[in-house]
Amino acid sequence: MKNLIFLLLMMTISMASGQNATIHVIPQPVSLQQLNGYYVLTGQTTIGYNRPEARNVAEMLASRIMIPTGFQPVVQQGSTGAIQLNLESLPEPGIGMEGYVLESSSKGIVIKANEAAGLFYGIQTLLQLLPEKIESRVAVDHTWIVPAVKITDYPRFGWRGLMLDVSRHFFTKEEVKKYIDEMVKFKYNTFHWHLTDDNGWRIEIKSLPRLTEVGAWRVPRMGYFNQREAPKPGEPATYGGFYTHEDIREIVKYASERFVTIVPEIDVPGHSMAALAAYPELSCTKDPDTRVNPGSNFAEWHGDGTFTMFVDNTLNPSDEKVYEFLDKVFTEVAELFPGEYIHAGGDECYKGFWEKDKDCQALMKKLKVTDVEKLQGYFMERVEKILSDKGKKLIGWDEILEGGISPGASVMSWRGMEQGIEAAHLGHDVVMTPTAFTYLDYTQGDPTIDPPIYATLRMEKCYGFDPLPEGVDPRYILGGQGNLWTEQLPTYRSLEYMTYPRAWALSEVFWTPAEAKNWEMFIPRVENQFGRSDIAGTAYSRAIYDAIVSTFRKDGKLMLDLRSEIPGLDIHYTLNGTMPDDHSARYVQAVEVPDGPVTLRVITYREGKPIGHLITLDRNMLEQRAR
């Protein structure tokens, strides 16, 4: 009986693995050579590390393995671990500080790197080499096979970031740590934490207690952002929250252990309504009725990028008390965050109230400037000096270029690539994060399926992003970042849903050599990750399976154009009021939309089974999409 059980186990392993095992790693390694054989993880598997600096990584690997396998791998210093983590005494050429070499065979697994960060990224790859049940949150009975491979891997860019906005909606300390846990699986190393905005001030400043006593709370509202009811007189502000110094120290330590640098953002001089609710005297209007905004409309956008504010949300650049205030804020922020950068915002600063303010006009006269934009340049120079005195570097959104900034300031290019190119040509370090490729709050699929917001950004376009434009010195491109604004994201599950799978695509953009990227080869790895996410309980969007519906006009007729992001899907549709299935018309080429009040219904199939959402569009909707 024992021999029969052993034989069946070996047959199972043989069928499930060996040189024919399909390997799905995100982001794609620089070099991956698949070899014959495999290693089987068992209860006797040990984890070794050769130097004390690697102990933390070894223990994190053990904790990740322990829960789904039920094993309790021994972690020990030395060179005899079945899984061996080695820091090189002489630097391994070519892989830098974050690269690694991973070799697995029937004898065991060795990961070597120049720094502990490289070992950490190596174990993320190792976990993806294991069966998908490694993501289980409970112990499962499974055969834990690692295919034999040799991988040499290192990142294309040093800045591989995700930004999380916690102003529009507050997310708990544990939720922030969970978000960091998920992003490091895909080798992100920078967490941009948008801590302040018009809708909430989320960081405790002990010297300015009203920032959290007042600025961290707004009146509760639901509904579409910018369409919510404004606060009523006397209405209690009960929705919100903030992070104490102790919370932040805990999160910073947690991130650091996972080789993530946190870049905190204090958004000034605009986007400051939460701060002004607490200290209204810091604005030009000094309105004592200023409230933290709950998502009500307080500006008119003119369609050309300009806007008019109805409510003053901007700090007064002519008031010395503003700089005293900022010095207090940045003193405490600098003490809490050990990283090189502090993000000071600088975006969407409305200057209409400055133009009408006599003190601002006097300051312009003193500075001998006639353009009010120069006041923002003056303001940001003062902020940069405050940060520099605390040993920090300023990074800001690309509007900081308009008022003039010092050569030492870095730029986060969000409105497009052009601003980043300009900044790089001027000698500034740049993080490329243009809306068209990296704004993860944008709708992922058809706006009739996902909750609508400003624009649509499909995963295929994310994957096509290149942060390094032609003709730009690569020394000035630090890397790239995906940004998640949370106007429409009130829950942690909604954060995950909007982040993934597009952040998987961006991780490959930021890590993998540009020439190694391949969209069609990326899709199977995404679908494998869907299965892993299901087991882990991580939310994600399946919009890549949905039809993409567009229309155009030809000879006065409305024509229907259908396609899908994933190659090989069958698209079935109806225009006759019936529900489509795999017996309905299959889309082959552009179709004329009949006259009259027709309704399109379209759904995708794979191998005879429905796989995408049903999309329903009436004639008016189709007309509006005509390009």
Residues that are catalytic: 197, 271, 348
In this structure, the number of other CB atoms found within 10 A of the CB of residue 493 comes to 12
Distance (Å, whole) CA 370 – CA 187: 47
- Compute CA 569 distance to the chain's CA centroid, rounded to the nearest angstrom: 28
Distance (Å, whole) CA 459 – CA 437: 9
Handedness of CA 125, 127, 132, 137 (dihedral sign): negative
Closest CA to 587 of 550, 619, 621: 550
Distance (Å, whole) CA 269 – CA 402: 14
The label of the residue with tokens 């679908």 reads 527
Distance (Å, whole) CA 174 – CA 68: 21
**390 token code pair:** 């605390």
Contacts of residue 585, defined as CB under 8 A and 6 or more positions apart, other chains included, come to 572, 573, 574
The label of the residue with tokens 């799978």 reads 501
> What end-to-end distance do the CA atoms of the chain give, in Å?
70
**145 token code pair:** 């096979």
The label of the residue with tokens 């008019």 reads 308
Q: Are 314 and 272 in contact (CB under 8 A)?
A: yes
Closest CA to 257 of 45, 387, 63, 81: 63
Distance (Å, whole) CA 491 – CA 488: 9
Distance (Å, whole) CA 292 – CA 219: 8
Where is 321: in which H helix or E strand?
helix 320-336
**186 token code pair:** 């895909």
Distance (Å, whole) CA 485 – CA 495: 9
The answer, yes or no, to whether the previous bond of 288 is cis (omega within 30 of 0) is no
In this structure, the number of other CB atoms found within 10 A of the CB of residue 281 comes to 13
Q: E strands within 154-276?
A: 159-165, 190-194, 196-197, 200-201, 217-218, 239-240, 261-268
- Compute CA 505 distance to the chain's CA centroid, rounded to the nearest angstrom: 11
Nearest 10 degrees: Cα torsion 277, 278, 283, 287? 50
